[in-house]
Amino acid sequence: MKRLNVVHERQTPEYWNRLYKAGYRVKEPEAFERQMFRNYAMVKSGMLAVDVGCGRGHMSAVMAKWGLMVLAYDFSIVAIEDALASHADYGDQLSFVRHDFDGDAIPPELVPGTVDIISCRHSFEFLDRARFLGDARRWLTSSGVLQITTHRAKRMPPTAEHPGLRDEEIEELGKGWRHMTTYGLDTGDSLIGIVLRGPR
């Protein structure tokens, strides 16, 4: 029997457009999360960063404030329009583009071997992971970093709409990278950061 490739509603722009129109907001990164990201990603001014699933652009703006050149993408046009309105003061240093990493062709500005940091803050679990990880490894420099912020599913309530990643899924992420680091971002060890460095 042929297995159908079913696209879950959470992987469609329409789903997220409805959420954002209804007032959905991802919690802004707090000081501790920002500092851990900066330390583990070894952020330096002038780096090129890509923010995948940028939402309303809070983390994108943080990276631009650090002096990074930031290309920020989300497949919700509602989120992108809000991000553009909220973070217009960074000029060419920060750009927001509507893009579907699962369904659209790769943006021409994502040239292989040129990206220093890719950020997926509460977005990685909704991507076609096999495709995205392959693409991410090509875009990154030899010492580039893919930084994922997500929840550990086993620490989330059973009714959570967006439960994050299972432990076995997190462990599997290390394959294809020279280094993998994880760190906790809350007292309950639910919110975590995952740093994958050095694509192979």
Q: What is the arithmetic mean of pLDDT over 196-200?
A: 95
Q: Which residue has the higher pLDDT, 189 or 107?
A: 107
Spatial contact of 78 and 17, defined as CB atoms under 8 Å apart: yes
pLDDT band of 8, cuts 50, 70, 90: low
Least confident residue range of 4-8, 33-37, 114-118: 4-8
Confidence of residue 1 (pLDDT cuts 50, 70, 90): very low
How far apart, in Å, do the first and last CA atoms of the chain sit? 35
pLDDT of residue 78: 96
pLDDT score, position 9: 67
pLDDT at site 38: 97
CA dist 76 and 179 (Å) reads 32
Residue 28 CA to residue 123 CA, distance in Å, equals 14
Directed axis angle between helix 13-21 and helix 77-86, to 10°? 50
User: Would the pLDDT of 4 be above 50?
Assistant: no
HEC assignment per residue over 90-133: HHHHEEEEECCCCCCCCCCCCCCCCEEEEEEECCHHHCCHHHHH
- Cα separations (Å) of 188 from 75, 100, 106, 152, 181? 31, 32, 37, 10, 18
Give the burial class of 65: count Cβ atoms within 10 A of its Cβ; 0-12 exposed, 13-18 middle, 19 or more buried: middle
Q: What is the mean pLDDT of residues 22-26?
A: 87
The pTM is what?
Answer: 0.91
